[in-house]
Amino acid sequence: MSDPVNLSVEDGIAFVIIDNPPVNALSGRVAAGLRDRVTEAAADPAVIAIVLTAFGRTFIAGADITEFGGDGPTVDVHAVLAVLEDCAKPVVAALHGTIYGGGLEVAMACHYRIADDAARLGLPEVKLGLLPGAGGTQRLPRLIGVAPALEMISTGKPVTAQDALNLGLVDRLSKGDVRTVAARFAATVARQKSPPPRTRTRTVIPPAPSFWDEAAARIGKSLRGLPAGPHILACVRAAVERPFKEGLDLEGQAFAACVRSRESEALRHLFFAERRAARIKDIPRDTPTRPIARVGVIGAGTMGGGIAMCFASAGYPVTLVDINEAALTRGLSTIQGNYAASVAKGRLAAIDRDAALSRIRTATDYAAFTDADLVIEAAFEDMDLKLLIFRDLDRVCRPGAILASNTSTLNIDQMAAATARPGDVLGLHFFSPANVMRLLEVVRGAATTPDVMATAMDLARRLGKVAVVSGVCDGFIGNRMVAGYGREANLLMLEGVEPARIDKALTEFGFPMGPIAMGDMVGLDIGVKAAAEAEKAGRGSDDPRPGIIAKRLVAAGRLGQKTGAGLYRYEPGGRRPLPDPAALAIIADAARELGIEPRDIDDQEIVDRCILPLVNEAARILAEGIAQRPGDIDIVWVNGYGFPSLHGGPLFHADTIGLPKVLDRIRQFQDRHGPRYWTPAPLLETLVAEGRRFAELED
């Protein structure tokens, strides 16, 4: 194994070069290498100054996360940073790429920092449920002041090189080769022979006394449920009020506690799961992709408009087609409204809005797709209509153009069979609102070719989406699972649990919104219509219970938020769900008619009844090969359905509870409610019998 840190000396400047692809993570070996090479350079009489730099796309992008949660560090990183900081010769960090986490902490222990002007610097540990563990909470406030340091640490948001310069985090920016600029700078400061400035000896100006209480309230809210929150505040406060060494010790204890927390484990699982999801098991990573220069979208409604926005915002020219000018005008005006809202909120510059809008052209004829490389249809969920569309697209589009459906349930293989190019057909299932939600299910048909799949995954990355591959089945991964979640919420209501209690139990579990309030927001008529369509297509259910409440409410004109009443009532123009005796009466009537007796149900049962169907169905989805791996399913649910990231997704959560317990609980429900919905998935039974976990099914 080659050495990840090398030393070369040119004209009195020692270059300590980190070479640990892909992102030069600060592993134990890199830390030890840094210590040894800097020690060698410090002892070399020919060396007057040291430049710390890295090969490849970035300076150190953080500690090596794969080494977390093991048996503890083999190298004392504080001691390594002390070697850098205590060095008698000037040590200059030459920074490029993403200088994150442990990387920024290394840089802050150097005497000077020169950054490439495209660099980004940050302490994103909080996104992994952690706080900086290599002195970041102590050195950053000393360099840039308490308030900006707390902001960077508690949000995890990186700053640009220019902002870093303004904050005093870096000393100089470089337009050219940062290594050369740093070497020149190092030679100059070495000749001046003034003692190197040491971050740890700088004093911090204490903030106003009210600062800490305000900060505690803010962080308490933004980092709710994350153990790192209070530690971050305590450590930054220690940087102001206690000696450096004591602050460092406090940080060390806090980091150790956080790294062992379930929440951090869950977030680290999601970090790697997201990256694994981008890979398709039987398709090599270097599979050539098809060039996509222009995109077509069919349907200017909510979904089609959102999809058009995704592409236009990412720089793709888009042709939006709908049946008539009126539909296009309506669609365009929604798109303009959405962009205007982003500009008003300061999330988008007016110039970028104008550029995005200028990329969207409209037409009422598929002939406008002749120059498209990809066309996505977002028409109604009606198979006959989709088959017509695919036949037409196949005729109009050039050979090699990819044809995609945004369907959330229908069979992609049937659509592919309507064309003479089944290999070029796939599903691209965006989540609503498509311009906001990160998830994209990429549905692989039986005939979809590897290069089409590779193109879709690459495209998703360019759109800033997190893509998960799904096989063809009713509802694909996400909506197939959501059926059980919604069904149990409805059955619980029929068993006498008030809607607000169901929502409260699930928001306390961590969902941003409960299933009942969600149903009201989406519109109860949507589910009722979908059920009617399924019935028409012979895919209906013979169980009247799960759908009865929505059906009755819709019949009574209670469609949800949009009509001011659904399962809750709403003040005019309001969105806050308010309990409504009228809805409760409709539920109670339905329950009575179906002969369902109300009974006492505790919060734990509410959560288990809604969450465990997800786990059971996911096990079937895995066994059928619809999802490639458990982590993919977790990514779908965290990014598409608001499953709390602190629980790591349904399957990470199941592993955390313990699969034997999960299976026991499912069997209890099976005893009480019968086998129809509660027969344990064979894969779950097998895993329990073998003493294994879902995590062991990852790649």
Q: Measured from the CB of residue 336, what is the shortest distance to ligand CAA in angstroms?
A: 31
And the tokens for 538?
A: 């012979």
- Interacting residue with ligand CAA among 65, 223, 401, 549 (CB under 6 A): 65
Residue 194 phi/psi, 5-degree rounding, is: -80, 150
Task: Report if residue 227 touches ligand CAA, rule: CB under 6 A.
Answer: no
Residue holding tokens 């308010």?
A: 578
Q: Considering only residues 25-54, where is the footprint of ligand CAA by CB under 6 A? A: 25
Please say which residue, 23 or 41, places its beta carbon nearer to ligand CAA: 23
**For residue 295, what are the β-bridge partners?**
318, 374
Alpha helices in 16-145 (DSSP H): 28-43, 77-86, 102-109, 136-144
Task: Report if residue 222 touches ligand CAA, rule: CB under 6 A.
Answer: no
Q: Measured from the CB of residue 77, what is the shortest distance to ligand CAA in angstroms?
A: 7
Helix 478-494 vs helix 603-623: crossing angle, to nearest 10: 150
The three-point CA angle 451-457-461 to 5° equals 140
**Count of residues of this chain found to bind ligand CAA when the rule CB under 6 A is applied:** 24
Q: Measured from the CB of residue 46, what is the shortest distance to ligand CAA in angstroms?
A: 33
**Nearest of 358, 376, 237, 367 to residue 301 by alpha carbon:** 376
Helix (H, G, I), strand (E, B) or coil at 279: coil
Alpha-carbon gap, residue 413 to 425, rounded angstroms: 8
Per annotation, catalytic residue among 40, 85, 105, 214: 105
- Interacting residue with ligand CAA among 90, 132, 306, 331 (CB under 6 A): 132
Q: Measured from the CB of residue 146, what is the shortest distance to ligand CAA in angstroms?
A: 19
Q: Measured from the CB of residue 22, what is the shortest distance to ligand CAA in angstroms?
A: 4
Per annotation, catalytic residue among 10, 40, 67, 125: 125
Please say which residue, 101 or 577, places its beta carbon nearer to ligand CAA: 101
Residue 149 phi/psi, 5-degree rounding, is: -65, -45
Q: Are 20 and 61 in contact (CB under 8 A)?
A: no
Q: Measured from the CB of residue 2, what is the shortest distance to ligand CAA in angstroms?
A: 18
Binding mask 245-274 for ligand CAA (x = CB under 6 A): ---------------------------x--
Query: Among 58-66, 349-357, 369-377, 596-604, which window interacts with ligand CAA (CB under 6 A)?
Result: 58-66
And the tokens for 462?
A: 């360019």
Q: Considering only residues 504-543, where is the footprint of ligand CAA by CB under 6 A? A: none
And the tokens for 438?
A: 């990160």
Q: Measured from the CB of residue 696, what is the shortest distance to ligand CAA in angstroms?
A: 19
**Amino acid making up residue 246:** E
Task: Report if residue 232 touches ligand CAA, rule: CB under 6 A.
Answer: no
Alpha-carbon gap, residue 50 to 107, rounded angstroms: 13
Question: Cα 699 from chain centroid?
Answer: 20
DSSP code string of 216-247: HHHHHHHTTT-THHHHHHHHHHHHHHS-HHHH
To the query of whether residue 441 is one of the catalytic residues in this protein, the response is: no
To the query of whether residue 125 is one of the catalytic residues in this protein, the response is: yes
Query: Among 128-136, 290-298, 340-348, 655-663, which window interacts with ligand CAA (CB under 6 A)?
Result: 128-136
**Nearest of 47, 174, 35, 41 to residue 106 by alpha carbon:** 35
- Interacting residue with ligand CAA among 20, 24, 53, 98 (CB under 6 A): 98
Which residue ranges make up the site for ligand CAA (CB under 6 A)?
22-23, 25, 61-66, 98, 100-102, 105, 124-125, 128, 130, 132-134, 136, 272, 275
Which positions are annotated as active-site residues?
105, 125
